[in-house]
Structures are given as structure tokens and as C-alpha cells.
Structure 1
Amino acid sequence: MELELSAEDLAFRDEVRAFLAARLTPELAQAGRRMTSVFCDKIHSLAWQRILHAQGWAAPSWPVEYGGPGWTEMQRHVFAAECARAGAPGLAPMGLRMVAPAIMAFGAPAQKAHYLPRILSGEDYWCQGYSEPGAGSDLAALSLRAERDGDDYVLTGSKIWTTHAHWANRMFCLVRTATQGRPQAGITFLLIDMDNPRISIKPIVTLAGEHEVNQVFFDEARTPVVDRLGEENQGWAVAKHLLTFERGGGYAPGLEAALERLRTSAGLEAGDETERLLDDPHHRRRLAEAQIATLAIDISERRVLSALAAGGGPGPASSLLKLQGSEALQRLDELATDTLGPYVAPHQPQARAAGSNLSPIGPEHGLTTMARYLNNRAASIYGGSSEIQRDIIARQILGL
């Protein structure tokens, strides 16, 4: 595994930096800086996606045949690192990084021809219908019923914690089509049109005071059988394939950007016994520990990149990276709240909204600190909780 960038990769890095300097507008950069979770507001996410799509860079991991740029694994890593470094807003992952690979792997030719171009352009904006009330992190415990009626399925039940369902026009969804045998054996994967009078959405306001997630209700909502991905009762295989993309890699660039923000904050805030918090030995030790953890994650991700470049897959390493990355993110959030001191407390969602002209209470660099901390508490739950990741690691890596 080569850790240093080659001459070609350095040239590519310079190309990406020049593109970001020219095309990342101040408005989009502000939206990126003020993101408080992995999701950016739809208006800014799609605006940045259109710019990247025009450049051919909207889907770095897609094969060329579907509109991807044909980059190497290292080029994808460099691109992600430079976007994080520049503060570019994140693209909505539900379509580009999650359901698209599932459609490529399991979709019929007509489904690929219809959905993939619309995902790439942003014409279709997706949400994920997995979690259900009372099911916790156990996807096999889902109960949203889908009963076959001619050329349609009739859906009855609900999904919860559905990110951006209020903005999405499509949902990829796990439904219960059979109750015999193992719970996983009766699950089907559907692609659902959200413009349906029998589908209703109830907002859930988070601890950070933001409307990002929802509960979605299906009241005998009909969806065509042709929008099933894979075979009936075989949706568990599709879901497992998709989860490797939801859980896998990509944490290191964001963690490094967060570390840089922390160093900047520590250079501006006063310590208890030092002029700058950055000069406090205890705080410097915590920053060093966070940097070591981030470096370890970066090396693990590069090992996965090497395996992918050799034609392999992420496999159970995706669970390892999900576990390490999400928990490291939470530790950085805790360090950020300690850095800001009393100015972490004010609740000011209007001031941190992109484009707001309201003056923040406290320093500008601390405007999103508490909202990030609160939103990222879910990082060790979504995509499979840390307990589930440890179980996968114990069984599939350690052989326990």
C-alpha cells in the first residue's frame, strides 16, 4: 500500500483545487461550513450537484458506463479530501451513493436506463425507508406490509427517522411481503414515488431544533410491481449490498476538516491558564489523540482503497470503518463543545442558516458547534448501531 501521492495524483489534486477555487461560490461555501450533519439542505446540495454534474464529477464512484468520471480509487479519495478541505456542501448520499449502486447491481435494464440518469442530474431526490417505530436497529423486524394486488403492491404501515422525506420525490424502501420462515426471507425492496395521496409525512424536529427527519405513513398506498428492485422476498440481499455503501469508508477527509476547525478555534479561544487554548498542554494532548485516531482511520480507508483497486470489495471492513469513524466524529464534537465554553449554549438556528444576516451570539466559528454535537449523536446508530458493527466484526473478522 503506497501512502504518498504519485505525480499523477498530485497533478489531479491541483486540478481539483483549481476547480474548487473557480466554481465553489461563497454562498455554497458558507452552506458547507454551516452544515450540522451529513446532510446539506436540498437547495444547496442540488446547486452544487448541478455544477459537479456539468463537470462530469457528480458521481466519483460510478462506472464510466453510467456517467462516472472513471477515476482511480486514490483520485476519489483525493477529491473527497479536497472538497472537505474547501468546505464544499455535501451531496445527498441517498441517491448517488446508496440506491444507485443497488440499481446497478440488481436493477433491470429499463430501471437502470430510467433511474440512473435522473439520480445523476438530481432530477430525482431520494429518501430511505428502512427504520420503523419499535424496530430499533433490527431491519429484519420491519412490519410495513406490501400486499400484491394485480400489477401493484398495496402498502400499509409507517417508516420513521426518514431523512429529507419532506423534500424527496422518491423513496427506496424495505417492505414485508411474507411472514413465513426467517424474517429476512419475507422482505422486498421497492422504489416508491412519493407523490401519492396515500402517503403522508409528519415532521420530527431534532434536539438541534432542525427539521431533517420525519415519520412517513402509508395508508393503502399503491406502488407498481415494476418498481420492485430484485425479486419478491429477496430484498434482504439488496439491503445488505446497499449497507456496505452506507457504512463504508469516507470518514477521514471529514474528520481531518473537523480537526482543522478545532485547531483554529483553539487558537482563538483563551485557556484557563494560557492566553490561547492551543497552548494548554491538556488540550494539546486531546488534539493529538484525535489526530492519531484520524490517522488510523485514514490508513484503514487506504487499505480498503487498495483492496478495491485490486478488484475486491470492502466486505466487513465497512463495519470497522463505520464504527471507528462515527465514534471518532462524536469525540471531536465533544472536544469542540469544550473548546467553545459558555458560547456553546445559545440556541440560534436562524443565525446559522445559510445566507442569514443575523449576528451570532459568540464567535462565528462556534455557530454550528452545539447543533453538530446534537445531530451527530445519531452517527453511532444510523447505518447500523455501534453494537451491531461490533457483532459483525466479531463474527466476520475475528471469527468469534
Structure 2
Amino acid sequence: MRFDFSPEDEAFRLEVRAFFREHLPRDLARRFYIGAHPPPRSDVRRFQALLHSRGWGAPHWPEEWGGTGWSPLRKHLFMDELYRADGLDYGWQGLHMVAPVILAFGSQAQKRRFLPPMISGEEFWAQGFSEPNAGSDLANLKTQAVLDGDEWVVNGQKIWTSDAKMAEWGFFLVRTDPAVKPQRGISFLLIKLDTPGLTIRPIVSIEGGDGLNEVFLENVRVPRDQIVGEPGMGWTYAKYLLEKERTASAFLYFNKRELEKAREIARGQTVNGIPLIDTPGYARNLARVEVDILALEYSVLRVLSHEQNRHNLDAVVSALKLRGSALQQRVTDLQLEALGLHALRFWDHGEGEVIDADEALRWPAFVPGRTAQALIARASTIYGGSQEVQKNIIAKLAFRL
């Protein structure tokens, strides 16, 4: 086994690093560092346009639709450098989630209509999966779509709908056949979010952001051709969507970046004139988290290199999610430990607004946004499949329990 990258891959890493150093606007990098949730739409659009102009708007897409043709390893290096530069890994609902489904199962007309404005940053997407009584168990979803001539009439409610407030389009799982077993009666429907009868109500989360939403659908009429693939195959398409990004749920790049921020804070804080990073207690806590993040990184690289092992790959992915989500909490808690009383200064992200620049300058550069980020991380072990769900998957697939 090789534990280093080839000279060619290292040269690629340096190319990406130089691009971000030279072209990422400093005001964007600063706001991304702070981490408003959600970020201002104008910032997202600017950054996506920057990547798209370089041909890096969607590295994982096929080349014919604007992808790069990179190997999994180079995609990994790109994401590592993007986070290192305080770039923005946003637009997940469109670029990483609905796009692979449209590419694999959508019509040519759907690809031509939806992919170009997605990769350029002109249109944003929201994910409409979870419901009040169907979160981790999506097979219980109740939102119905009934065919009426050339339109689907949709009624129901979605919750925790990421990015609905800032998006033009949403992809929804809806029940189109209640007579068959639950998984077979679900379809994958694309809905414009300003369609009459569709109401969005933001959910203000603990740090003041409103990236999550409730969506109410009352007799929403959707053109028949906005269903992706075949009716009743939505469950299969949703599983395909989740399988396309097997290592994303490890949150590796986030954890590596936040570890460096914890290190930065600890260098700037002192205890009796000694930098916190040099005190035995904090150095020990930092080392423990660093070792676990390093182990997570090598686990991700083993998956990316298609290493053969005796475990079911879905169980491995659940293990990565289990460890990576817990590390989000540990590494952000490490930042709060280093901030000490500074952690009490909380900037409310509300309405997606950026932190007031003049006030932020009166504090050390590493203070704004850290407390809010730690609060957001409390949900990391719930969304995308809770810890309990992941443990059940591992027990079933890896240990046959």
C-alpha cells in the first residue's frame, strides 16, 4: 500500500491550490470562513460562476455535461483544497443530489433544461424527502401525486427541506400508487417552487439560520413530463442518489478544515502567557481529535481506491457517516474549548445575513461564526440518517444481526 500521492497528483493539488489563492475573492473567503447558514445567495452564485469558468463547476459529472473526467482521487484532492482555501461546498441539493439522478434516469429534454443552469449557478435546488412522520423511514411518506390528464396534482407536507427558501426548483419523493408495497409506489418529481399552492415556511435553527424549511403542497399542479424516469421508481432513484456520494457523509473535508481552525484559535489564545496549543491538556485533546480525523481520511481513501474487503460497502459507508458526524461535534467543541469566554459572543446568522464587518474587526479574526458552527454541528448525528439508523445498518449488513 502506498501512503503518498504520485508526483502528478501532487502537481494537480498545487494547481488547484494556486487557483484558489489567486482567484477566490477575499470577501467571499472571509464570509465562507465565518460560515453563515445558509450563505447569501449572491455569494453562492459568484463562487459557482468562478468554478464553472475554470471548468470545475461539477467535477463529478460526465465530461459531456461539464464534468472534468478526474479520477476519484483527484476529486478528493480538489475538495481538500477547496475547503483548505475556505471555498464554498454548496449547491449540494442540485449538483450532487438531483443531477446524478437526472443524468442516469432523466430524459434528454430534462438534461438540456436543468443541467446547464445548475452548473452555472443560475438556478438552485431544494430536496423534498422528509415528512413529519417519515424522516429516516422514507417508505412511510404520505405526500401524494395523482395524475389528472397531463398534470400531477400533489398534496402533502415536507419538512427539513434544505435550501427551499433560496431555490427555484425542488425534487420531491411523492406517492403515486398507494396500492402497491410502500417502496414501489414512490415517484421522483421535479417541482418549480413558485407553483401555485406550494407554500414555504422557513425553520429558524438554533444558530439563527433558516436553511431548513417546511413545504406545504395543496393541489399543486405539475406537468406530467416533470417526473424523472418511470412512475413508481422513486425509491430506487433515491437509493442511487445516496450511493453516488459514498464518502461525502464522512464530512472529511469539513473536519480537516475545522481542526486547522481549532489549531489557529489555540495559537492565538494564551493561558498565563503560554499559547493554549502548548499547554498539555489542550494539546492532548487536540491530538486525540487529529488522530481520529487522520484515521477517517485513510478510511475514505480506502473506499476511493476501491479496496477489496470482506464488509458490505453500505455498512462501510454507514460507519464513515457515524464517525464523521461525531467528529464534527468533537472538532467544533474543541474550538469552543479554545475560545473560552470568547465563545459567549454569538453572531446570529438569521435570514442568511453576513456578520457585520466593522463589529467583527473588533474581535480576533477566529471568533466570528465559531459558536454558531458548533451549534449547527449538534444536528450532524441526526440528519442524513441518525446514529441509531446507521448502527442498525451496520449490524444488519456487517454482522448479520
TM-score range, shorter chain: over 0.9
- Alignment of 1:55 with 2:24, yes or no, is no
Distance 1:397 1:42 in 2: 42
Aligned to 1:11: 11
Instruction: Say if 1:270 and 1:277, in contact at 8 Å, map to a contact too.
Output: yes
Which letter does structure 2 place at the counterpart of 1:134?
Answer: N
Distance 1:81 1:7 in 2: 17
Distance 1:258 1:347 in 2: 18
Give the secondary-structure state (helix, strand or coil) at the position aligned to 2:200: strand
1:6: Cα distance to partner?
Answer: 0.6
Moved more, 184-193 or 242-251: 242-251
1:253: Cα distance to partner?
Answer: 2.3
* Structure 1 segment 244-323 matched on structure 2, within 5 A: 244-245=243-244, 248-249=247-248, 251-271=251-271, 275-307=274-306, 315-323=314-322
Give the secondary-structure state (helix, strand or coil) at the position aligned to 2:59: coil
Give the secondary-structure state (helix, strand or coil) at the position aligned to 2:22: helix
Aligned to 1:98: 97
Aligned to 2:343: 344
Which letter does structure 2 place at the counterpart of 1:23?
Answer: H
Distance 1:314 1:353, change over 3 A: farther
C-alpha distance after superposition, 1:280-326 (max 9, x if no partner): 212111111111110111011101111199xxx96443222222111
Distance 1:297 1:281 in 2: 24
Give the secondary-structure state (helix, strand or coil) at the position aligned to 1:27: helix
Distance 2:75 2:135 in 1: 33
1:260: Cα distance to partner?
Answer: 0.8
Distance 2:288 2:336 in 1: 16
Instruction: Say if 2:346 and 2:368, in contact at 8 Å, map to a contact too.
Output: no
Distance 1:107 1:172 in 2: 12
Distance 1:119 1:2, change over 3 A: farther
Instruction: Say if 2:127 and 2:171, in contact at 8 Å, map to a contact too.
Output: yes
Distance 2:357 2:193 in 1: 34
Distance 1:323 1:348, change over 3 A: same
Distance 1:314 1:44, change over 3 A: farther
Unaligned runs of 5+ in 2: none
Moved more, 362-371 or 256-265: 362-371
Aligned to 1:357: 357
C-alpha distance after superposition, 1:314-366 (max 9, x if no partner): 64432222221111111111111121112212332379954732314753312
1:247: Cα distance to partner?
Answer: 5.7
Which letter does structure 2 place at the counterpart of 1:95?
Answer: G
Which letter does structure 2 place at the counterpart of 1:32?
Answer: F
Aligned to 2:198: 199
Aligned to 1:394: 395
- Alignment of 1:25 with 2:25, yes or no, is yes
Instruction: Say if 2:40 and 2:353, in contact at 8 Å, map to a contact too.
Output: no
Which letter does structure 1 place at the counterpart of 2:172?
Answer: C
- Alignment of 1:123 with 2:118, yes or no, is no
Give the secondary-structure state (helix, strand or coil) at the position aligned to 1:99: helix
Aligned to 1:169: 168
Aligned to 2:186: 187
Instruction: Say if 2:208 and 2:349, in contact at 8 Å, map to a contact too.
Output: no
- Alignment of 1:72 with 2:68, yes or no, is no
Distance 2:159 2:8 in 1: 45
Give the secondary-structure state (helix, strand or coil) at the position aligned to 2:167: coil
1:100: Cα distance to partner?
Answer: 0.7
Which letter does structure 2 place at the counterpart of 1:365?
Answer: F
- Of all paired residues, the percent bearing the same amino acid is 39
Normalised by the length of structure 2, the TM-score is 0.92
1:16: Cα distance to partner?
Answer: 0.9
Instruction: Say if 1:157 and 1:219, in contact at 8 Å, map to a contact too.
Output: yes
The RMSD of aligned alpha carbons is: 2.2
Moved more, 345-354 or 177-186: 345-354
C-alpha distance after superposition, 1:251-280 (max 9, x if no partner): 222211111110111111123x66222122
Which letter does structure 1 place at the counterpart of 2:364?
Answer: P
Distance 2:23 2:188 in 1: 38
Instruction: Say if 1:81 and 1:253, in contact at 8 Å, map to a contact too.
Output: yes
Distance 1:230 1:136, change over 3 A: same
Give the secondary-structure state (helix, strand or coil) at the position aligned to 1:215: strand
C-alpha distance after superposition, 1:141-189 (max 9, x if no partner): 2111111111111111111111221111110110112223432222111
Aligned to 2:370: 369
